[in-house]
C-alpha cells in the first residue's frame, strides 16, 4: 500500500491535534494564564479543526498561476507549483490549528475567571 505525502501530513495533523487535546498544563502554568488556582472545565476544540480545514480549502483554491509568489520560478510546471503551494498551506494549517487551540483555551480561561469574579463580587445577586 502506497501512502501519499498528503495522507502522511493528514495523519501527522490528526496525531498532533490528538496530543494537544490530551496535553494538560501543570496547575502552575494555568495559574500564569488566568492568575488563579480555580479548576474550570475543559472541552475538545473540534470546531477549530473544522475552521482551519475550511481556511485551507480556500487557500488551496486561491492558487493563481499568474501570481509570481506562487510560481517560485519559471523552471517548474504549474502542477509542481500548485503542489508546493498545497504543501505550504498544509504546514501553515497545522501551525494555525495548534496556535488557535492555545489562544481559544487561554481566552476561555480568562473569560471564566472574569465571570467567576463577577459571581464572587455579587454582580448576579
Q: How far apart are CA 65 and CA 3, in angstroms?
A: 27
* Sign for the pseudo-dihedral over CA of 37, 40, 112, 102: positive
Per-residue pLDDT in tens (0 to 9) along the chain, 125 residues: 777 777 777 777 777 767 666 655 544 454 444 455 566 676 666 788 889 999 999 999 999 988 888 887 778 899 999 999 999 999 999 999 889 988 988 898 899 999 999 999 999 88
Give alpha helix (H) positions in the chain. Answer: 5-22, 27-34, 46-61, 68-71, 78-120
Joined together, the cell numbers standing for residue 76 give: 517548474
pLDDT at 55: 93
| Cα dihedral across residues 33, 92, 11, 58: positive or negative | positive
Amino acid at each position: 500500500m502506497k501512502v501519499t505525502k498528503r495522507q502522511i501530513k493528514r495523519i501527522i495533523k490528526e496525531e498532533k491535534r490528538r496530543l494537544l487535546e490530551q496535553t494538560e498544563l501543570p496547575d502552575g502554568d494555568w495559574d500564569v494564564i488566568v492568575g488563579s488556582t480555580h479548576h474550570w472545565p475543559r472541552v475538545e476544540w473540534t470546531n477549530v479543526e473544522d475552521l482551519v480545514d475550511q481556511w485551507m480549502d480556500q487557500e488551496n483554491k486561491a492558487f493563481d498561476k499568474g501570481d509570481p509568489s506562487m510560481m517560485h520560478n519559471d523552471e517548474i510546471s504549474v502542477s509542481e507549483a500548485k503542489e508546493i503551494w498545497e504543501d505550504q498551506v498544509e504546514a501553515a494549517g497545522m501551525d494555525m490549528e495548534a496556535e488557535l487551540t492555545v489562544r481559544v483555551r487561554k481566552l476561555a480561561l480568562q473569560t471564566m475567571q472574569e465571570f467567576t469574579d463577577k459571581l464572587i463580587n455579587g454582580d448576579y445577586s
